[in-house]
Structure 1
Amino acid sequence: MLTVLVVDDSALMRRALRDALEAESDIRVEIARDGQDALEQVARVRPDVMTLDIHMPVMDGLTCLSHLMVDSPCPVIMVSSLTEKGALATFEAMELGAFDYVAKPGGTVSTDLDGIRRDLVAKIRAATGTPAMSTRQHPPRRGPPPAAPAASAASAGHDRLLMIGVSTGGPRTLEQILPLLPTGAGWPVLVIQHMPASFTSVFARRLDGLCQLPVREVDRPTRLEDDVIHLARGDADITLSRRAAGLSLVPTPLDDQHLWHPSVSRFLQSAQGLLAPGNLIGALLTGMGDDGARDLADWHHKGARTIAEAEETATVFGMPQELINHQGATDILPSHQIGDRLVAWTRTGESA
C-alpha cells in the first residue's frame, strides 16, 4: 500500500485529489493543509510520496520543499497552476529536488482532475518504482540487433536535424545536455518535451539563459535554423513541412491518435520523405510511455543515428526502454555522456 500525503490549502482540491488517488486500490491518502502542517505530519505519516501545492498560507510549497529535502527527503510531486508564475515556481521546485509536477487543469483551485488523474497516478508510481496495477510489459524483440549505422552515413542534401524527445524528468536532463551543444556545428535542434504551453514558454527562456545556442519556443510556423534550439510549444503537436523558405516546423492541433503531446511520434511520421534518415540524429530521454520509440527505431533501421538514455540516469525508463526494445538505439548512454556524443556526431567528419 502506497501512502501519499496531499498538501493543499483548498479543501475542494484536497477532496478532489483524495478521491482521484483512492480510486486506486493500493493508494492511501493523508492530508495536510499547508507547508507547516505537512512538515509536522511527515514523521507521523511517513509518506511514500507527497503532492505539494505551491501557493499556500502559513508556509508555501517552495519553503516546505526546501525544509523537507534537508530534514526528511521523500519524492515530491508539485501540483502547479497553469500560469507563468506557476511555471516559474515549478522549475524552482525542480531545482530544490522535486521529482516532477502535474499542472492543475483549471487554475489554482479545480475539482476537475480527470485530465490529470492518469498523469498524477503514473508519476506517483514512477516516483516510488511501483508498477501500474494493469500495465502490460512489452518484451524485447528477439534475434540479433541490426548493424549500427555509420556516423558518416549522412545522405545527400543539406537538410538535417538533431531531435530530442523527452517527458517525465526532462527539464533537469535537458539542462544537463543542451548547454554542451556548441555554436558553429550547423545543425538545427528540435526538443519535444511533454509539457503545457504555459510551461514551455517559460522553459524556453530558462534554457536560453543556460545554453550556448539560442533557444526559441515554436509557437508559429518557423523555418528550421542551423545552430538554434527549437522547443516545441506545449498543448499542440509539431510537424515538419517543406515551404518556400525551406523546411519549417509547424504547430499543429492535437489529434486523438497520439496519447502524449507534443507528440514525438507524430513529428517523426511527418518528417518521412522530407529528411534523409542519414541526416537525422534522434535521442529519446527519460519519460513515461513509448512516445516516438517505434517511429525512431524505424528511422534507425534506415540509417539514422539514435541514442536511448540508460536506465541508470533515467528518472523514468519508459521511452528509452521502448526504443531499446525495438532495437532502435545506436547507443545507450547515461545522461552525462549524451551531450558529448551529440557534439561528436554533429562535428563534420567525426565518427561516433
Structure 2
Amino acid sequence: MGKIRVLVVDDSAFMRKVVSDILSADPEIEVIDRARNGLECLEKVSQLQPDVITLDIEMPVMNGLEALERLMQTSPLPIVMLSSLTSEGADATIKALELGAFDFVTKPSGPISLDIHKVAEGLLEKVKAAAQAKEKRKKSPLRQIPPAVSAIRQPLKPTPSPSTPLAPAKQAPLAKTGGRVVNLVALGTSTGGPKALQTFLTSLPANLPAAIVIVQHMPAGFTRSLAQRLNSLCEIQVVEAEEGQTVQEGTAYIAPGGYHLEILQSGGVLRTHLELTEPRAGHRPAVDVLFESVSKVANVKKWAIIMTGMGSDGTKGLKLMKETGEVTSIIEDESTSVVFGMPRSAIQAGLADRVVPLDKIAETLQKLLN
C-alpha cells in the first residue's frame, strides 16, 4: 500500500491549511486536494478517488452531513468528521456516525480552532485507521448491518454533569428481584462503537433480565447525545451514567465522556461511581477501569462484551474479571468489526468464550441469559 491519499474539506481556508499541514507532515499520508464545501467535496471525490476524507460538519452550500449522506449512497469511503464542541455539534456528530462516518475529531475551540494542533495525534491515528479499514473491506467485505436512522429528538447540553439527570423517554421495568441485579453485562467499544451499540441495544427486549454498563470512547459532551439517541430507538432504557445511580436490570448505562465509570457494591446493591482519575492508556472513560471494578462485584452473574475499536482497552480488565470470578465473554468477530484492535487483543489473550458477528451478539447474550 502506498501513501494514504486524503481529501481535506472545510469552509475555512485557515483550517484547510492547518489540517493539511498536520496530515502532510506524516510520511505515510499525502493530501491530494482540498474542498470548501460539501458540493465541491462530491465533485473532487468523483475526480480524485481519495482513500480518506476529513470532513467538516458546518459548511455553506452543502454541509458535512448532506455530503456524507450522498457519499455513503454513491461512493462509500472512510470519512473522519471534524466536529465542534457544542450541543449542535454533538448531535450532528452522532448523526454522522449513524450515516456511516468512520470516526470524528473535535475541534478544540470552535469552527476555526487556532489550537487544532492539540488533536493532531488523534487526527493522524484516525486517518490511518480509516485507511486500514478501507483496505480490509476490499479484501473481505463486511456484512451489511442496516442502521435505524431517524431524527434526534431535541437539543442536548454540551457537557455531561454527574449531578444533572438525563430525563428518560421511558421508564424501564424494575427487575423482579426487588431491584437486585442478577446479571451484569459490562461492554467496551471504541471506533465504530456508536453504530455497533445501536445494532446491539435495539435488538434487546424491554424486559431484559440484565443491567448493561458501557464504555464507549468519546470526549465529554458527546455521550449524553449518544445515550438519548439510543434511548429513543431502544426498548430497554439507555441513559448516560450519573454519580450514585442504583443499577437496574433492563437499563443500559453509558459512561459520560471525560469520566471513568466504576460499579460499586454495597449491601448487595450496585451503584455507579464516576472518577476523574488519570486517563488509562489515553482513555477516560476506559474499558479496563470499568471491567476492573466489575471484577470486584460478588453474587452476580457477569458477562463481558468487547466490540469494535482501536488498541487493546478491555483486555487487562477482562483478564482480571476471569482471574477473580466466573465471567462469560462475547467478542465481536473480525467480519463485522470496523476496527479489529480491541476484539483481536482479547482473542489473542485467550479471553474469548464466544466470537460472533455484530448482528448475533444480542441473540447470543439472550440465549446465554436464559
TM range (shorter): 0.7 to 0.9
Cα contact 2:312–2:345 (8 A) shared by 1: yes
Q: Runs of 5+ in structure 2 lacking a partner? A: 135-179
Counterpart residue number, 2:163: none
3-state SS of 1:180 partner: coil
Q: Does 1:292 align with 2:292?
A: no
Q: Could you tell me which residue of structure 2 aligns to residue 51 of structure 1?
A: 54
Distance of aligned partners of 1:72 and 1:182 in 2 relative to their CA distance in 1, 3 Å threshold: closer
290, 301, 305: which one pairs with 1:283? 305
Instruction: Return closer, same or farther for 1:267/1:70 CA change in 2, 3 Å cut-off.
Output: closer
Partner of 1:146: none
1:160 shift after superposition: 4.1
Task: Determine the structure 2 residue equivalent to 1:14.
Answer: 16
RMSD over equivalenced CA pairs, Å: 2.1
Amino acid at match of 2:97: M
Which residue of structure 2 lines up, in the alignment, with residue 333 of structure 1? 356
1:175 to 183, 198, 204: 198
Q: Distance in 1 between matches of 2:76 and 2:212?
A: 36
1:3 Cα offset (Å): 1.1
Q: Which residue of structure 1 aligns with residue 124 of structure 2?
A: 121
- In structure 2, relative to structure 1, the CA distance for the partners of 1:326 and 1:55 (3 Å cut) is same
Alignment pair present for 1:81 and 2:104: no
Match of 2:66 in 1: 63
Q: TM-score, normalised by structure 2?
A: 0.81
Distance 2:117 2:216 in 1: 22
Q: Does the 8 A contact of 1:163 with 1:189 survive in 2?
A: yes
CA distance in 2, matches of 1:91, 1:130: 20
1:230 Cα deviation after fit: 0.8
Is contact 1:94-1:100 (8 Å) kept? yes
Q: CA deviation at 1:83?
A: 1.5
Using a 3 Å threshold, how does the CA distance of structure 1 residues 118 and 314 change in structure 2: closer, same or farther?
A: same
How far off is 1:313 after superposition? 0.3
Question: Would the aligned equivalents of 1:20 and 1:113 in 2 still touch at CA under 8 Å?
Answer: no
Q: CA deviation at 1:240?
A: 2.1
Q: Which residue of 2 aligns with 1:2?
A: 4
Give distance in 1, aligned partners of 2:75 and 2:346: 36
Change (3 A) 1:342 1:89: same
Instruction: Give the Cα–Cα distance (whole angstroms) in 2 for the partners of residues 189 and 256 of structure 1.
Output: 22
Contact 1:180 1:343 in 2 (8 A): no
1:210 is matched with 233
* Secondary structure of 1:222's aligned partner: coil
Structure 1 pair 158–196 and aligned structure 2 pair: CA distance change class (3 A): closer
Q: 1:273 to 1:89 in 2, by over 3 A?
A: closer
Structure 1: which 5+ runs fail to align?
A: 132-156, 348-352
Give me the whole-angstrom Cα distance separating, in 2, the residues matched to 1:85 and 1:112: 21
Q: Secondary structure at the match of 2:6?
A: strand
What letter corresponds to residue 4 of structure 2 in structure 1? L
What aligned pairs does 1:232-271 form with structure 2 within 5 A after superposition?
232-243=255-266, 246-271=269-294
Relative distance call for 1:185 and 1:256 in structure 2 (3 A) is: closer
Q: TM-score, normalised by structure 1?
A: 0.85
Matched AA of 2:301? N
Paired with 1:85 and 1:54, the residues of 2 have a C-alpha distance of 10
Q: Work out whether residues 215 and 287 of structure 2, in 8 Å CA contact, stay in contact via their aligned partners in 1.
A: yes
Q: Return the letter of the residue paired with 2:315.
A: A
Q: Report the Cα offset of residue 199 of structure 1.
A: 1.2
> Which residue is 1:147 aligned to?
none
Q: d(CA) in 1 for partners of 2:356 and 2:125?
A: 25
Residue 323 of structure 1 pairs with residue 346 of structure 2: yes
Q: Does 1:188 align with 2:190?
A: no
CA–CA distance in structure 2, aligned partners of residues 185 and 171 of structure 1: 20
